[in-house]
Structure formats: structure tokens, C-alpha cells
Amino acid sequence: MKIKFYEEVDDEKLLFAVIVAKYKEQWVFCKHKQRNSYELCGGHREANESILDCARREFYEESGAKEYQLIPLCVYSCLGKTRVKESSDEHETFGMLYYAEVYDFDELPESEIQEIAFFTDVKKIPEWTYPQIQPILFAKAQSMLTKK
């Protein structure tokens, strides 16, 4: 698995949105009902949906965040076999990485998400759902936020 970062690509290539979020100095993660691991909020872009609308929809569905500031950080791509792309060829799959500063949450909507969890130290996350991708995206977001 290889992850690359870009400033931009053609919009139609963006298939995913991933949101690195913070609430009261803690990082926001979600836990899927069928998994024992934690992940950043995000998901697939639907037909006729902008990547920003995808990020907003997925972030609400997976966290219940209702008041927040959403900032696009960069485009990322994955090369190699993933849970979404079974082929291990060198075809790139693109997504947009966002940062969200959360001010308030609603109750968690009825969905595949069991709970949201807050971590001050991501090294204490017992298990990442996507360990080959999301820790790299998280580190990239942290480095970009530190530079601002």
C-alpha cells in the first residue's frame, strides 16, 4: 500500500472524504458496530454529490457533529489493494482529507456506527480499522495543522 498526497486533482476523481476532527483538544474517532477497531470519520462519495457534501454527510452520520468548521487539507491517493479495491495493480484511488474543529454534537444518528470515542493521544488507540492508510492520513493532517 502506498499513500501519496496532492494539492489537487480533477474533482471527478475524488471518491472518498476522510475527516480528522478535534473536539475540546481531543481527537474524534468512530467505532463501527461490526468491528473492534477505531477509524477516522469518512466514506464514499455518492452519485451527483460534491466531495464537500460527502464530507459533511459522512461526518454527521458517523459522529453526530452538528456545529463545526470544516477545512479541506489536501488530496490523497492509495495505490495497491484495499478493502474497497481488490486489485493490487497500480491504479490510484483518490480522496479528500479534511480537518474539522467541532463545537457541538447531536446524538449519534442511527447508522452502522456504534459510538464515537475521544483520544488525546492516538498512540492509545487499541486498533485502527485501516492501519495502512488512516494513521498516515492522520499524521499528514497533524503536520499540516502544525504548520498553519
Would you state the pLDDT for residue 86? 56
Domain span at residue 19 reads 2-147
CA distances from 117 to 55, 95, 121 (A): 19, 23, 12
Would you state the pLDDT for residue 65? 97
pLDDT in tens, the chain (148 residues): 899 999 999 999 999 999 999 999 999 999 999 989 999 999 999 999 999 999 999 999 999 999 999 999 999 999 976 555 555 566 889 999 999 999 999 998 888 889 999 999 999 999 999 999 999 999 999 999 998 6
pTM over 0.75: yes
Would you state the pLDDT for residue 125? 94
CA distances from 146 to 15, 42, 99, 140, 143 (A): 27, 22, 12, 10, 5
- Per the structure, the count of domains in the chain is 1
Q: What is the CATH number of the domain that holds 104?
A: 3.90.79.10
